[in-house]
Structure 1
Amino acid sequence: MYQPISFFIGFRYLWNTHLPKFKKIITILSIIGISISTTTLIIIISIINGSEENFKKNILSFLPHLIITNHNKYINKIEFPKDILKLNNFEKFSDFISKEVVVKSKNEITMAEVIGVDITNYDNVINYNIKDILEKLKPGKNNIIIGRELAKKINVNIGDKIQLILLSNKINSFSGNIFNQRIFKIISTFSTQNEVDYYQILMNKKDCLNFLDFSKNYITGWRVWLKDPLLLDFDKIKNSSNQLVLLDWTLQKGELFKAVKIEKYIMLFLFFLILLISSLHIFITLTVYTIEKKNTIAILKTQGLLNWKIILIFVIIGSSTAIIGNILGTIISITLIIQNDFLKYLIHIFFKEIDISIVIVPFQIFFINMISILLTILSTLYPSWNIIRLKPAKILSNE
């Protein structure tokens, strides 16, 4: 006697040499359907993971995750809210000097942002890829480093001098607004392949303080970096710093990140529908199967086979199809991701200038497989429950 009997019967119904060709094709199509849905789900979610990783690396690496200041953007260093340091997601912080100014060259004029640089925020300017930046920006020299795209915009080169104009908060009753203006020399440019190349100007912090006319120990605010900016609990931080102005990264890039998130959920929903259709296909197949095998099931019941073991037979048929399909789909997707030249080729057919990165998260692959198997098992319960409700005597009386 084959033990356990439910597994033996289930595997015999799933595949055997005497199975009609049509049923073999149906089984193969079910496996292929689940394989395709699993493959597409894993690949799509891995591509979106790569997009999020690029978003954090290329945009949030330059953009502070949280800015702490006041309404005047002029604050004493001693007012720093120390409760921020207790956050689980906290990584580092640094004070900063920053201000919007008017940039004037010989032929062009535009707006830009000046940023003071010294040893205290050196770690934050490493991303600009400038060698010996502190040596180049010595105090008192009025030297600056500007973004390469900004240099192109105002048509200047290294060695040229430009005028920075600051609108002061002081008001003269006779002449109106007082302008603070100074000539600075461009000693280098930076290129980060990021939007900061279009508007940022780096200068020594002491020169910046003098230019902006800041008092001693006064700064614009603090920049805070988190371990994972996507897990920023802004409301919790805001409650701990009621008297300060808190600006998080979502104010500048929130809409872009929301668009990425929405795209992720839409794609997952669409490919989840493919998985659902595959499960419905198994549901229909098993429903037909139970009708076809109702006499055999009735005989098994008269032989003393318990109802839960009969249900287990159909669960084995459906779940085996899902497991085989998931294994094939997972192997295919991981193979395509590791050897991603084929994927890049397909994407470049439609989007020639796009560069993709793919990030695999093992937990997500496990979750996709478990959901697929669970949906398949659920799709087998109704057909099997429906067949065990029938009375063996009623079924066999028609024979």
Structure 2
Amino acid sequence: MFRPLSIFIGARYTRAKRRNHFISFISLTSMIGLALGVLAMIVVLSVMNGFQQEMSSRILGMVPHASIAASEPLDDWQAVAAKAKQNPEVLAAVPFAELEGMLSYRGSMQPIQLQGVDPALEPQVSIIGNSMIAGKLSDLQPGESGVVIGAITARRFQLKVGDKLTLIVPELSAVPGGITPRMKRLNVVGVFKVGAELDSSLALINVADAADIQRYEPGQVQSVRLKLKDLYQAPQVSAAVAADLGANYQASDWTQTQGSLFSAMKMEKTMIGLLLLLIVAVAAFNIIATLIMVVADKGADIAILRTLGATPRQIMGIFIVQGTVIGTIGTLIGCVLGVAAALNVSQLVGWIERVSGQHVFSSDVYFINSLPSQLQVTDVVLICVAALGMSFLATLYPSWRASRIQPAEALRYE
């Protein structure tokens, strides 16, 4: 069977027992280091993917994917919603209002972002129905001044269902200052918890009550909220819907309000990935030290091969094969262990919590109480390709040095 000389000898050098056991030790540590680096990158990036997915599902499950508004309040939001749903990317369209103010309770105050919603239609576009921990969303009846607040707000003010608080919103007026505060008494009818910063900054009221605060006519709403198939296409889809409705309509989407948060998470993942890649680089370039010592150990063998007719290219190929085999084995071991660890990291953390009796992620401190993990094939492929590429590059200089050995010089003292 035909087998190239470089591959045959390089493979034998990889598995042969060397006279210098230190070289074997360095080769083994290079392989282990590469495996650990690949494992760490796969696990960490999978956990970061899990965090990003968890935050996306919670935050983007509460804030609008996109909304359509006009220069004037919408008199017939149903017609706008029907037109919007003609776009195949739009799954649902419901009435929506948004305003900012301050909540006041027994002398304490905090800023709040209010969403005016229709409790019967809101579950079509948000996860609020599955996030209620007290009360019901359906208790937001028009004209009753009900409000659903977040769990952090309820804990900060020590509020429960049935308590009353005061909403303060700014209102334009003809007084010299131009703005006067307007107060409205609200009744707490429910508490939600999504496990994100929204638990402290968001509250929901009925869309009719929001229209009353904004001094709209009965039946008028501020905008129409859209739920999209692909939320990452929100800018394009919302702009297309607004264009179909006419020049009087404007579109906004989640990238304008939450885009900086997700851009920061993406940048964080990129930077951590690059830092972890340095671990892989250190392990990969340990192959240089291994091969340089192998070349020194095999100097006489290289000289004999040259006298038998081996070309410098073949000699170079022998050590490229040897270093590549070390890198490939280390990468494959790290890939297998990393994939297994990434798929079971949540169970592993749970087991550690049960054994130690301590909560790694306490719900009282963190927004999540578990360690999410989402393995992505593209991440695994990129990590393995990077590790293999650096392992190959690490073989080039020692292999070139081996190809430059002169037989007469190597065999002078043999």
TM-score (norm 2): 0.76
Q: Match of 1:336?
A: 341
Q: How many residues align?
A: 395
- Residue of 260, 278, 293 corresponding to 2:265: 260
Residue 372 of structure 1, CA deviation: 0.9
1:373 CA drift (Å) = 1.2
Contact 1:319 1:377 in 2 (8 A): yes
What pairs up with 1:123-202 in 2 under 5 angstroms? 123-129=124-130, 130=132, 133=136, 135-154=138-157, 156-164=159-167, 166-169=169-172, 171=173, 183-202=185-204
Distance 1:5 1:176 in 2: 88
Counting only pairs closer than 5 Å after superposition, residues 1-399 of structure 1 correspond to structure 2 as: 3-17=3-17, 19-69=19-69, 74=73, 77=77, 93-103=93-103, 111-112=111-112, 113-129=114-130, 130=132, 133=136, 135-154=138-157, 156-164=159-167, 166-169=169-172, 171=173, 183-215=185-217, 218-227=220-229, 229=231, 231=232, 234=235, 247-340=252-345, 342=348, 345=352, 355-389=370-404, 392=407
Q: Do the aligned partners of 1:50 and 1:358 also contact (CA within 8 Å) in 2?
A: yes
AA of the residue aligned to 1:39:
L
Counterparts in 2 of 1:287 and 1:349: CA distance versus 1, 3 Å: farther
Relative distance call for 1:136 and 1:350 in structure 2 (3 A) is closer
Mapped partners of 1:79, 1:351: distance in 2: 44
Q: 1:238 Cα deviation (Å)?
A: 6.4
Q: Which runs of 5+ in 1 are unaligned?
A: none
Report Cα offsets for 1:311-334 as digits up to 9, x if no partner.
Answer: 332122111111211222223333
| 1:337–1:343 contact (8 Å) kept in structure 2 | no
Task: Label 1:213 to 1:396 Cα distance change in 2 as closer, same or farther (>3 A).
Answer: same
Deviation at 1:282, TM superposition (A): 0.9
Contact kept? 2:42, 2:342, Cα under 8 Å: no
Residue deviations 1:143-170 (CA, integer Å, cap 9, x gap): 443334434555554234455455544x
Q: Work out the CA distance in 2 between the residues paired with 1:157 and 1:349.
A: 27
In 2, Cα distance between the equivalents of 1:200 and 1:349?
Answer: 28
Q: Name the stretch that deviates more: 212-221 or 24-33.
A: 212-221
Q: Is the 8 A contact 2:147 2:204 kept in 1?
A: yes
Cα-to-partner distance string for 1:179-208 (whole Å, 9 max, x where unaligned): 766555433333333333334443333343
> Relative to 1, partners in 2 of residues 1:148 and 1:335: Cα closer, same or farther, differing over 3 Å?
closer
List per-residue Cα deviations over 1:29-83 (Å, max 9, x = no partner): 111111121121112212211221122122222122444446x684565778979
- Cα offset, 1:396, TM superposition: 5.4
C-alpha separation in 2, matches of 1:62 and 1:383? 57
C-alpha distance after superposition, 1:214-251 (max 9, x if no partner): 2467432343445555x458589769869765544355
Q: Could you say if the C-alpha distance between residues 87 and 396 of structure 1 is closer, same or farther in structure 2, counting changes exceeding 3 Å?
A: farther
Q: Distance in 2 between matches of 1:361 and 1:327?
A: 17
Counterpart residue identity of residue 370, structure 1:
V
Residue 159 of structure 1 aligns with an amino acid whose one-letter code is G
* Structure 2: runs of 5+ lacking an equivalent: none
Matched residue of 1:98: which SS?
Answer: strand
- Flag the 1:98–1:342 CA change in 2: closer, same or farther, 3 A: closer
Cα separation, 2, equivalents of 1:226 and 1:359? 23
**Preserved CA contact (<8 Å) 1:73 1:221:** no
- For residues 336 and 83 of structure 1, the distance between their equivalents in structure 2, rounded to whole angstroms, comes to 44
